[in-house]
Each structure stands twice: as structure tokens, then as C-alpha cells.
Structure 1
Amino acid sequence: MNDLVSGGEASDEIRVLHVDDDAALGELVATSLERVNGRLSVETVQSADAGLDALADETFDCVVSDYDMPGRDGIEFLRVLRATHPRVPFVLYTGKGSEEVASDAITAGASDYLQKEGSIDHYGVLANRIVTLVEHERAETTMNDAQRLFSELADRTTDVLWLVSAEWEEVVFINDAYEDVFGQPRERLEANPRAFLEPVAPGDRERLEAAIEALGEGVSMDIEVGVVTPDGTTRDIWIKGEPITDESGTVTHLGGFTRDVTERTERERELASAERQYRAMFEDPNILVGVLEPDGVVRDVNQTAMEYIEGDLDDVLGEPFAETPWWGDDDALRADVDEWVARAAAGEYVEFEADITGTDRMRTVSGTFRPVRDDDGTVTAIIVSDRDITERTDRERELVRVRDLLEKTERIADVGGWEIDAETMDVFWSENLFDILGIEGDEEPPLEGALDVYHEEDRATVANAVEAGLEDGESFDIEVRFLTPTEDVRWLRVQGVPVLEGGDVVTLRGAVQDVTEQKRDERELMRQNERLEEFASVVSHDLRNPLNVASGYLDLARETSDSDALAEVGRAHERMNDLIDDLLTLARTGDHVREETALDLASVAEDAWRHVPTGAATLEVASTTTVYADRSLLQQLLENLFRNAVEHGSAGPPSPTPAHAVEHTSTDSRREGETGADDEGAVTVTVAARPDGFVVADDGPGIPAEARERVFDAGYSTSESGTGFGLAITERCADAHGWTVRVAESERGGARFEFTDVRTS
């Protein structure tokens, strides 16, 4: 049985078991004790065995037993009793007392020894002995229970429980939790009561020492400090201490507890960080933020969100979010908002993108509905946040439009695009490039595989160009052959341009165009030119041989005759030679210039002037410029213009009619018979630069307005001596450069040839 057989306050009943073989005396003792002290309740039995049975069945606070009884005497009864009830108070109450019996009783574990007497005062003494013994036992039991509970608490708690002397020189009590919190053995603290200061973070040590000193002076301590553990981590601890004083108020001991609050402080820091993040997000001028109740009612919104609508904060607080002005009058969108709120209220993280009403236009936003839960996991609020992505979506739409335009342009121009990542060497081909190469699918090959599409004789050319582009940042423009899947050979023009960042090539990109037909046309044109050259040479040879024979006979005839007819034949021969020269020049003038160089207009003009029989004519270079042209063609152009001006602008035998003057005559602003030449009949030719080209003008008779449309026709001439090919050659030279030529009247009434679309600098 429990040693604490009964307990309670001083007013509680005390149950007494009285064992005496004399029944009458037993009744007398019981009655007397109950009369003397009303707290006592006495039950009497007549033998030790009966007493043991009673104790086995019931609870008693004290046992009073006679010594001399049949069977077991009082001391034997006590010995048996102590085996099961070691702490119950036991009074040996006998009329046959002796010092020997008393000694044996105390040795056997009796609480007290008292001899029987008959006076009423004697029963008062016995009652007092019983009450004193029971209350002492109850107090000890209570103290032991408290100590046991405290010890159990100290062993089980993770808090450090401590009690030290007032001067902090002796550790009265410390539990095992100290070693876990401070990382030191208890023995170290017991040897040095201030050893716990050693692991305290240096920045907190002085503050803790001041608090300890104040505690010794009677001031409560409540402080949080950091403790550096043996593994180098810092943990936060909370120390709470109180002074313990005696009856005079003098501090005798210091006691308290120390608790590891690292997790709490970490949570507090996390909460503070989350609060700062929330405030930063809430105050972010680029983010629209709102806080909703789980049912979607607006609890708060930030200023940024309010800038998107007309109205005040009070107009939206307390309103269902879906019914606020941000969503306009779009019922379908409002229904979506209600759905998003419901999903978030159910714990889902909802992402959305929508068009909302702005003060200036519809704005596109992208955001989230984020549920906020309490410790139980219940959604207590919803945070809705979004960003204005209008500009981004506008750019994306524009990008889609540009890409679509680029794809269509690629297909119309039959051009494909490509790109190589300089770091990964990944290859990208546009869709049209797959079509140009005749490759099915949409997966680009690796770089080596991409080079395999080219003709084996041209792969090195492409590889070297790509390598130079990636390593040295060089652009390239090459024409190479490639093999179609059906083994057809086609020509590609491949262009590449490096993209640089910080001086390094990050990408090499370019375009591919199928120029097979162009190459065929070029070869056909070359063959035609070769045939034309062959034809011109044959014609020249076949015409000049008979002409030379005729000229020889003409010379023989002149030796024997000086007939005017022979002179006419000579002039006819000269005209035929001029025609042959001009025809050859016209045939050999190309359609375009392959290479242009920077030329000084004045220098070329002066060279051309020296190659023309100019007589008394004068060249004036009014201004010059740098012209990008083929020097041979430019000089030929100027020579023809100079020759035309000199031959048809100088004074000579009058023509039968003004209309039969050389290749350019004019009656626009002159009286019949007038010319612009000086009194001696010399013409002045002027060369001048203009912003987009140059001008060649003279002061001769000019070209009639009605003839200006035909002067460049091959074979057209109003002169009997002209071949009609000079100005045609001039136009051919201009066309080969991509220039435009126009005929007008000069300031002096002569011919003015204006050349525009000329590349100058």
C-alpha cells in the first residue's frame, strides 16, 4: 500500500487503529481519545492479526498497539507491519513498560512509546502524541512528494533550473538541461559557478554580468543573450531570475530558469522579415497588391492599385473583389475573379492574367491569388498581387507581328535565316531555311552536320568563314554549292554577321538565299557576251578588210584623179570606220559595273578632254566632287559628251537647215543663224558637281525639246556626219552605274546633261 495512508489539512480527520486484547479497555481508550480531540476517529481490534487484516483493508493514519497480547506481542506486530507500512506512525501503548521494551520498540521502528495511565489527562497526552506524529508524517510526505515532483520536472524539462548562493559562489542546484543549453558539463559549473558566462556571445556578456550583479542586489533578471555552442553555432537563450530573501529581507539565494528560445526568435525574425517583405511588396510602386477576406471581401489595397481606377480607398474596402472597378463591366471576367478567390480560399495558389480597367486604357496584368494560413492550416486571408505587363504584352504582340512579317518576307524573298550560339555551338534554322535546303522536319543538326549539306569542295570555304566569324568577329558573304536530298547541286549565297557583347562574339547569325537561277543567268549572260564579242570581232574583221581594200584602191585612184566624187568616197569610208568603232564600243559596254572606285571628277574630266580633238573649244570645271565609278566607263562617257559638244557646237559650214545641225541643235530661244559660241566659233564645255551627281553643259546650239526623248536611241542622229551611237554609249555607261541621265537646256542655251543617283562624297 501507499505509505501516505491519509493526508490533508490540520482540520482533517485522523483515523487511528487501536490494537488491545482487552476489549473493555480498548473501548475506553477509543472513547476517551475521540472525546479529547474531535479530529480523531478510533477503531479497536483485539489482536495483532486482526490489526494486520484491518490495515490491509482500510487506511489508517496512526496505529496504537498494546505490548503484551496473546499470539503476537506489540513488537512482533510492529515488525510485520513495517514490512508493508514502513512510514505509518506507530505508538507502543502498554501497561507493562520497561526500558528494555521501549528500546526494542524504538529499534523495531516504533514512532513513540507511552505507558498506560488512567487519568483523563493521560488520554490528552496520547491524543497530542498521535496528532503530532500524523501531522509530521503528512508534512514529510508532502515535502517528499514535492521534492520528487520537482526532481521529475527538473529531469524532464528542457529549461535549465538553477539555484545559487547570493554571491554566486556556490551552485545549490542545477539540472541536466544545463549541458544541452550551455554545452558544458555540470561539474565544470559546480567547480566554477560563473563558468556559464564563457559560452555567452561576446557582445552580450557585459550586459548579462550587469544583470547578474543587479539580481544579487534584489532586482529581478529578465534577459535574452546569445550562447555559442561547441559546434560554432549561436543559440538564443532567455534567462529569468529572482532573488530569494530571508525573514529580514536579506538576499540569501538566487534562483530561476534559463530557456533555449532559438526557434522562437527565429520565428520572430522570420515573421519580421515576412512583415518587411510584405510591406515592401505592399508599398512597391510597380505591384498592385490587395488583401482579401477568405470570402473575397476587400480588406486593404495599396496606392498603386488605386491609381488604376477612379475613386477612393473607401469606395472599395468592404466590397466583393469581383465587383470592384478594376474588372470593368465584363461579367465573364468577374466570374473568373470569383472562381480565383474560391480556389485560393480552398488553399490553392492561383496564377492569372487578365485585362483590367485603367484610367487611360485597358491594361494587362499578371499575378497571383495567394492563401494565408494560420497555425492550424486554416485560410484566414488572401493576398492578391499583380504586375502591369501591358508594355511586355504589347512588345510580344509586336514581336509576333514582326516574326510573322519576317516569315512571310523570307518566303516572298526566298531567304532563310540561321544562327549559331558561340558558347554552346547550338544551331538555329528558320522554317524557310529547311524549305530552301529541302530538309524535312524542324530539328536543326549540330554544327558539323549543318556543314555537311554543302558540296564537299565548298565545305572548307563555309567552315573557314564560320570559324573566322566566331573567333575573330569577321562578317562574310560567300557563294557556295550545296546538295539537295535528291543529290541536285544548287548555289547558295551565305551571309554571316557576328553579334558582340563586351567585345566578344556571342552569336553568329545570317541569311541564306538560293541563287541557283541567278548563277544560271550569269553563266548564260557570259555565254551571250562571249558570242556577242565573237560576233563583233567577226563583223569588225569582215567589214574592215573590204573597207581597207576599198581605201587602198581609193588612194590609187587619187594619184591619177582629183575628182570630188573620190573625196565623197573618202568621207564615206571614214564614216564607215566611225560606225564600226561605235558599234564595237556599244556592244562591249556591260550592263552593270562590277567594281567602283573613288574618283576625282575634275581629274577624270581633264583626262577625257585630252583624248578628244577639241580644237579651239574650252573646258571649264566649275566644281568637283568624288564619284564612285568605273574609271574607264566614266572617262568614255565624258569623252563622248565632249566630242559631241565640240563637233556640233563649233562654227563650221552652215547646214542646209537649222534642223540638220549636228546631233543637238536648238531653235528654242535663238534667232535663226545664231549660236552660243564665241565670235571665232569656239564652244565652252562646263563640268560641275551637284549634291546627287554631276552636270556636263555647253554653250553650243543645244538640242530641240522635241528631240530630247530620242537622242539616246542607238543610230539616231540629225547630222549627216554623226553615227547616232555616241549618246547611246553615254546612256549605256550611265545605266551600268545605276545612274539617271536627263537632257535639258543649259543657262547659255546649249545642251545640259544631268546625271543623278550618283554615289558621291
Structure 2
Amino acid sequence: MSKQLHVLLVEDSEDDALLLLRELKRGGYQVEYERVDTPDAMIAALDSRKWDIIIADYIMPQFSGVSALKILKQKEIDLPFILVSGKIEDEVAVDAMKAGAQDFIKKDNFARLVPAIERELAEADGRLKRKVAEEALRKSEEKYRSMVETANEGIFVIDQERRFTFVNQHTMDMLGYAADEIMGRKFDEFVVPHEMTDHLKESRERTKGKVSQYERTFLRKDNRTICCIASVSPLFDENNRFMGSFGMLMDITERKKKEEEIRSLNAELEQRVRERTAELEKKNIELERFNKVFVGRELRMIELKKQITKLEKEMEEIKKNNGRKEGKIGEPT
């Protein structure tokens, strides 16, 4: 099955062009072509459509292969470019190759033409695929860099010696330093002294492949402290050698302050409850004592009333008895 090939021929000789096209057909190509022999015609052809390859005669009356190559470079089009010539010196061929031509073929050796085209088409396809892959990688890197730079967490990378090799903007904002003030410095320099022992212990765990999440307090440039949750993972190369760590920092300073405020309020409330409970217990004791006094007095009053009532009854009885006696004394004998 014939292979489609779109060729831009920079050639002033129609006969030479036909010989070249015949060689391509013999090589299994179905050729669509346009022949040009002036700079303006070449520029118009390049602007009119896409080409697979350019084959240019080295010397022409009004144009040249080298000039055609310059036009291609100026337009920044990545196309295989092969020079052909009836006569050529080695130095000229070398200079042409240095200028960007992929190959230089003598017209009496067109047997090299098809293999050269196949080679250059394969290389051009490889370049195109690499370009597409590189562009996709660039866009992917830009996307993820944008995500990293706009993340609400601090993101960093440190090497084996715990020196910063990357920090995102949020890490800089959290610590209060510019990038050039952080890069290359040790992670340890930002950890508060009283947490250094635990920090070094965690760092040793990373060399063993351990992923950790823990609280860590850092000292900012303005000497204020910031409390963070650090999530850190080890980085290893293809030979499983420890290369450093990747980490994320979430600022929990405000949360810690609120937790402390809540603890303080709870402690104050508990103290008030204890004081109120003690006060109520004291009141209860006084009330109980009062009740005892009051009830005892009431009981004594009741007993006293009973005694008074009893005395009154006895007095009444005495009075009655005295009255009867007086009556008997006054009767006639």
C-alpha cells in the first residue's frame, strides 16, 4: 500500500523534479507536491498548507537551497529539509548540515533519497511526539504548580540534610520569610527549641520510610510562634535511596488559641461551680443548724404550753376546791 507524502520541492528544473518524484514512487510513496523556485513562491507554499518534507536544489538561478533553509528557519517550522545537488564539495555539505539541513544528497545517487526521507520522517515524528509530550508536561506542571502555589496549606520539599529545596507561597506567608530567605536553610532552624528533640526523632523516622502527621510549633521571622499540623512523607529515588521529604503544613494557631480559651473558660466555670457548691453546702449547714435550733425551741414551747395548760387546770381545780370549802364553813350548825 502506497504511503502518502506531501513534498515541497524547491527546484528550478522540471526534469530533475520528475526524476526525484519517480524515485519516491519507486520507494512506495504516493506523492502530492508543489514545485517552487523563488523565495516568494516558497513562502506562499509554506503558508498555504502543511508539508511532510522539503527537498531543495542547492543551486538555482534565482534562488538557492541555503536561502530556502533560512526562510524555513525564519518561519520557525519544524520540517525535515534535504538538499540535493549535481555537484557538491564535502565542506559545502558540512556547512549545510551545520545550518540545519538534515541530509545532502547528490543527484547521481538518488538511491539514498528514500532511506534518507524515511529516516528524517521518523525523526520528525519523534520530535513532534516529544514536543506534544513536553507541552502536555509543561501544562501539567503549570496546572499543579498553580494548585501548589494557591493551596491553603504550606507545601515544602527538603533534602537529606533537611534543607529546603522548595516552598510554596503559603509556606512563606506562614513563616514570614521570602523564598530566598528560606531556600537552602535547614528545617530545624524554624522549629522552637523545646520541640527540637521530638523533631529530630521524627526526621530519623522519615529515613526509614515512615509517613507521619504531628503537631509542630515554628518560630516566625517576627518572633511570633505558629502551631501547625505537619504531614510529612519520605522521598526515595529509583535505587531506594532516601532523598529527603515532602511535607504539608496546616496552620492551627487560631484553633489552638480558641481551644485554650475554651479550656480557660471551662476551668473558670468549674471553679465557680466549686465555689457555689461550697457556698451552698455552707448555707445548708447553717440552715440545718437553724432548723435544729428552731425546732428545738418549738418543741420546748409546746412542752411549756402543755405545762402551763396543766398548771392552769390544777389552779382551776384548786379554786374550785377552795370554793367548796368556804361554802361549807358558812353553813349554820
Report if the CA contact (8 A) 1:179-1:186 is conserved.
yes
Q: How does 1:253-268 map to 2 (within 5 A)?
A: 254=243, 257-262=246-251
Distance 2:241 2:27 in 1: 43
Q: Structure 1 pair 235/62, CA: closer, same or farther in 2 (3 Å)? A: farther
Aligned to 2:166: 174
Q: Structure 1 pair 189/78, CA: closer, same or farther in 2 (3 Å)? A: same
Aligned to 1:76: 67
**Structure 2: gaps of 5 or more residues:** 260-281, 284-304, 325-333
TM-score under structure 1 length normalisation: 0.29
Report if the CA contact (8 A) 1:14-1:61 is conserved.
yes
Aligned to 1:284: none
Distance 1:222 1:41 in 2: 64
Q: Structure 1 pair 104/212, CA: closer, same or farther in 2 (3 Å)? A: same
Query: Which has the larger share of helix?
Result: 2
In structure 2, give the amino acid aligned to 1:744: E
Q: Structure 1 pair 140/744, CA: closer, same or farther in 2 (3 Å)? A: closer
Residue 692 of structure 1 pairs with residue 264 of structure 2: no
Distance 2:158 2:319 in 1: 122
Aligned to 2:114: 123
- Once the two structures are TM-superposed, the CA of residue 209 in structure 1 deviates from its matched residue by 0.3
Report if the CA contact (8 A) 1:93-1:116 is conserved.
yes
Distance 1:174 1:227 in 2: 20
Aligned to 2:264: none
Aligned to 1:205: 199
Distance 1:255 1:61 in 2: 47
1:63 to 46, 54, 57: 54
In structure 2, give the amino acid aligned to 1:92: L
Report if the CA contact (8 A) 2:8-2:54 is conserved.
yes
| 1:89-128 alpha-carbon deviations (Å, 9 max, x no partner) | 4333333433554465356x42424122434244313431
| 1:520-568 alpha-carbon deviations (Å, 9 max, x no partner) | xxxxxxxxxxxxxxxxxxxxxxxxxxxxxxxxxxxxxxxxxxxxxxxxx
- Once the two structures are TM-superposed, the CA of residue 252 in structure 1 deviates from its matched residue by 5.7
1:54 to 24, 39, 45: 45
Distance 1:85 1:116 in 2: 27
Distance 1:63 1:30 in 2: 13
Distance 1:17 1:100 in 2: 26
Aligned to 1:226: 216
Count of residues in Structure 1 that have an aligned counterpart in Structure 2: 263
Distance 2:25 2:175 in 1: 59
Distance 1:224 1:185 in 2: 25
Q: Structure 1 pair 149/227, CA: closer, same or farther in 2 (3 Å)? A: farther
In structure 2, give the amino acid aligned to 1:239: V
Distance 1:67 1:32 in 2: 18
| RMSD of aligned residue pairs (Cα, Å) | 4.7
Aligned to 1:19: 10
Q: Percent identity?
A: 16
In structure 2, give the amino acid aligned to 1:127: E
Aligned to 2:228: 235
Q: Structure 1 pair 143/254, CA: closer, same or farther in 2 (3 Å)? A: farther
Report if the CA contact (8 A) 2:54-2:81 is conserved.
yes
Distance 2:26 2:67 in 1: 30
Residue 750 of structure 1 pairs with residue 322 of structure 2: yes
In structure 2, give the amino acid aligned to 1:132: E
Report if the CA contact (8 A) 1:243-1:254 is conserved.
yes
Residue 191 of structure 1 pairs with residue 184 of structure 2: yes
- Once the two structures are TM-superposed, the CA of residue 151 in structure 1 deviates from its matched residue by 4.6
TM-score under structure 2 length normalisation: 0.58
Structure 2 counterpart SS, 1:233: strand
Residue 114 of structure 1 pairs with residue 108 of structure 2: no
Structure 2 counterpart SS, 1:174: strand
In structure 1, give the amino acid aligned to 2:35: V
Distance 1:749 1:181 in 2: 110
Distance 1:58 1:92 in 2: 21
Aligned to 1:468: none
Q: How does 1:140-539 map to 2 (within 5 A)?
A: 140=131, 142-143=133-134, 145-147=136-138, 149-151=140-142, 153-158=144-149, 160=155, 162=157, 164=159, 167-168=160-161, 174=166, 176-177=168-169, 178-180=171-173, 183-188=176-181, 190-192=183-185, 195-200=186-191, 202=195, 205-214=199-208, 219=209, 221=211, 223=213, 225-226=215-216, 228=218, 230=220, 231-245=224-238, 250-251=239-240, 254=243, 257-262=246-251
Distance 1:163 1:26 in 2: 62
Q: Structure 1 pair 258/45, CA: closer, same or farther in 2 (3 Å)? A: farther
Report if the CA contact (8 A) 1:235-1:260 is conserved.
yes
Q: Structure 1 pair 36/79, CA: closer, same or farther in 2 (3 Å)? A: same
